[in-house]
Chain A
Amino acid sequence: MGDSWKAVADGSRRQILLLLKDGEKTPGEMAGHFDFSLPALSTHLRVLREADLVSERKSGQNRFYSVNTEKMNDMVRFFDEFWDDSLSRLKRHAEGRK
């Protein structure tokens, strides 16, 4: 999980993920939406791919990127579980002290 949090700890990469939610895109199609360079975009895509947040599909000369929804699900669950765990620990702690 650590890697996926690091991957989204960057505004540009969050923008890329949000752009891809509408469907798969090539780097060329994505580049027009951002003010960073194509090499910078490739680096961001590599980080996202290594974190398993996006998938890459090759077709002829083109590479298509799309969001990995299963991994996204893990991230939503992480927040939910984090607060569930914290609240039950708080409860145990506060009640144990009485």
Chain B
Amino acid sequence: MSGWSGSAEIRKSVEIDAPPEAVFRALTDERELIRWIPTKAKMEPRVGGELRFRFHWDARNVDTEVTGKIVELVLGKKLSYTWVAVMRSDRDPARMDDAPAALVTWSLEELPGRRTRVTLVQKGFDERFRRDGESGWEHFLSQLKVLAAAGS
């Protein structure tokens, strides 16, 4: 698995008052996923399994389908998948452009009192974008931050 590079990442952490098994189920069970993340979810919870999420928020003018593959799954502890957002091309409605490609990793740490610390990391996934050379999504994301900081 070559091609990850580490500069631009988003890292978030939250403590949840539920045990790791319950949180893990919320991350992997299709019926539970739609209760907190996408409007539609398909998930094959095994390494190499596919996932497909549909996000549809009128309020944000976003209608995106995310597809990916599970690259790591440790029951109750860790779940890692690729994340490729697919949108209709503005030039040719029949064509789908691939966009933001990333690696999303969920790590669960058991805390005393049946609680869980959940850490989410989204990293650029540069495998598919190597043909872009320097302008892979990850590089783009890091430059976005530089540009945004310069402009604020």
CB < 8 Å: which of B14, B61, B98, B147 contacts A21?
A: B147
Question: Which residues in A have their C-beta under 8 angstroms from that of B85?
Answer: 5, 9
| Interface residues in B52-83 (C-beta closer than 8 Å to A) | 60-64
Given contact pairs A9-B87, A14-B140, A17-B140, A95 touches B99 in the complex (Cβ within 8 A): no
Question: When the two chains form their complex, are residues A7 and B10 in contact, meaning their CB atoms are under 8 A apart?
Answer: no
A61 contacts chain B at the CB level, 8 A cutoff? no
* Known contacts A9-B87, A79-B10; A89/B122 CB under 8 A: no
The docked-state distance in angstroms from the alpha carbon of A6 to that of B144 is 16
Check A15–B148 contact: CB distance below 8 A.
no
Question: Could you say which interface size class chain A belongs to?
Answer: 35 or more
Instruction: Report A70 CB to chain B, min CB distance, Å.
Output: 6
Which chain B residue lies CB-closest to A83? B12
B26 partner residues in chain A, CB cutoff 8 A = 90, 93-94
A5 to B141, CA, bound (A): 12
B32 on the A face (CB < 8 A): yes
Across the interface, name the chain A residue whose C-beta is closest to B63: A2
Least CB distance from B138 to A in Å reads: 11
| B contact residues around A83 at 8 Å (CB) | 10, 12, 120, 122
Per-residue CB contact flags for chain A residues 60-98 toward chain B (1 = under 8 Å, else 0) read 000000010110110110111001101111111111011
Contacts of A95 in B (CB 8 A): 16-18
A2-B60 in contact given A9-B99, A86-B37 (Cβ < 8 Å): yes
A-B contact pairs, 28 of them (CB 8 A): A3-B61, A5-B85, A6-B90, A9-B89, A9-B99, A10-B97, A11-B132, A17-B143, A18-B134, A69-B147, A69-B148, A70-B151, A72-B148, A72-B151, A73-B148, A73-B152, A75-B144, A76-B144, A76-B148, A83-B10, A87-B118, A89-B36, A89-B37, A93-B35, A94-B22, A94-B116, A95-B17, A98-B22
Interface on B for A, CB 8 Å cutoff? 10, 12, 14, 16-18, 22-23, 26-27, 32, 35-37, 60-64, 85, 87-91, 97-100, 116, 118, 120, 122, 129, 131-132, 134-135, 137, 139-141, 143-148, 150-152
